[in-house]
Amino acid sequence: MAERHFRPLENLRTLAAHQARFVVIGGYAAVLHGTALVTFDADICPDPDPTNLKRLCAALKDMDARLRTSTDPDGVPFDCTASFLSRMSVLNLVTDNGPLDLSFRPAASDGYEDLAVNARDIDIGGFVIKVAALDDVIRSKEMVGRGKDTAALPHLYALRDELAARENPPSRRKRPKEKS
């Protein structure tokens, strides 16, 4: 099989073209918020509605999605059906555009509906996707506590502070009136 490059926007574009509902989560969500951290996969939290799972399967088939394993870098074919997806909690995939992970109930959330409430709609190259709120990304990384997540937290806290400062700049002090 051909070498697969990490092109997450292509995966997201395919999902959007199939009208699959999802929220981008994890490290790639942090990237879309503006962090300089690097990630090598994209994570999404799909809406578990059966109709949406059918759309998701169609998109995954178009991406040539395969189950990612440690022993087979090209991944293992699987029968992608809405019924199969409805029984999953996490699915690690490799696609023609690189790794794509599905998490139906990410750490520190109750899933799609929970994350969608605070998610931001972001236009990325002519199509709009939902991206988990930075606070939700931070909360998830705090809860998981893996080394790479813990290492990312100071950067994410700083980004949160920077974004908050941009949205709510300190009020300008009024100059005292000069006496004439």
Q: pLDDT of 91-114, one tens digit each?
A: 999 999 999 999 999 999 999 999
Residue 168 domain-assigned? Answer: no
Q: Distance (Å, rounded) from C-alpha 35 to C-alpha 17?
A: 26
Per-residue confidence band for 149, with pLDDT thresholds at 50, 70 and 90: very high
Token pair 């490290």 is found at 27
Task: Give residue 179's pLDDT.
Answer: 62
Whole domain around residue 35: which residue ranges?
Answer: 8-156
Residue 47 domain-assigned? Answer: yes
- At 39-93, the pLDDT tens digits run 989 999 999 999 999 999 999 999 999 999 989 878 999 999 999 999 999 999 9
Q: Distance (Å, rounded) from C-alpha 93 to C-alpha 65?
A: 6
Long-range contacts of 64-68 (CB under 8 A, 24+ apart): 64/95, 64/96, 65/93, 65/94, 65/95, 65/100, 66/93, 66/94, 66/95, 67/91, 67/92, 67/93, 67/94, 68/92, 68/93, 68/94, 68/99
Task: Give residue 16's pLDDT.
Answer: 96
Compute the average pLDDT of residues 168-178. Answer: 61
Per-residue confidence band for 144, with pLDDT thresholds at 50, 70 and 90: very high
The number of domains in the chain is 1
Task: Give residue 168's pLDDT.
Answer: 85
120 beta partners: 131
Residue 139 domain-assigned? Answer: yes
Compute φ and ψ for 47, nearest 5 degrees. Answer: -70, 125
Residue 170 domain-assigned? Answer: no
Phi-psi region of 140 (alpha: psi -120 to 50; beta: other; left: phi over 0): alpha
Starting at the earlier edge strand, list the strands of the sheet with 42-46: 66-67, 90-95, 98-103, 42-46, 22-25, 128-131, 120-123
Residue 126 domain-assigned? Answer: yes
Residue 164 domain-assigned? Answer: no
Per-residue pLDDT at 167 exceeds 50: yes
Looking at residue 94, which CATH number applies to its domain?
3.30.460.40
Residue 119 domain-assigned? Answer: yes
Compute the average pLDDT of residues 22-26. Answer: 98
Residue 110 domain-assigned? Answer: yes
Per-residue confidence band for 172, with pLDDT thresholds at 50, 70 and 90: very low
